[in-house]
Amino acid sequence: LACWGSTVGPCLEAAHLLNTAGTRTNVLKLGDLWPLPRSKAIERLRAARKVIAVEQNYTGQLANLLRMTTGFDIRDSICRYDGRPLTGEEIAELVSGAEALAQ
C-alpha cells in the first residue's frame, strides 16, 4: 500500500488486519512528497508483487507523482473523495476483494 498524509494510519491498520488474515502486506508511507526520496521509493515499489495507491482525492495525485518521478506505474488504487476518511477496515476489505478477483 503506497500512501502519505492522512491515509498512513488507516493503511498501517489495514496492513495489520491483512497480515493477520494471511495476506502479506507492507506499507510505503511517504512523509514528504518533495523532494521525493526517488531511489528509496523505486527500490520499495519494484520489490512489491503488487502496489495499490491509497488516496483521499479523485485524481490519484500520489500515483501520478510517483509515475512522473520514478517511472513506476501504479495500476491499482483506492481513492476516496467524498470528504469522509478511509478506515483500515475499508482498505482491508477492498484489498481482499482485489486479491480474490486476481486469483
**pLDDT digits over 44-81, tens only?**
999 999 999 999 999 999 999 999 999 999 999 999 99
Model pLDDT, residue 98 = 61
Q: Is the pLDDT confidence value at 101 over 50?
A: no
| pLDDT, tens only, 1-53 | 999 999 999 999 999 999 999 999 999 999 888 888 889 999 999 999 999 99
Q: Quote the CA–CA distance of 42 and 71 in Å, as a whole number.
A: 8
Instruction: Using the structure block, give the residue that is written with the C-alpha cell 486479491.
Output: 99
Sign of CA dihedral 70, 51, 33, 39: negative
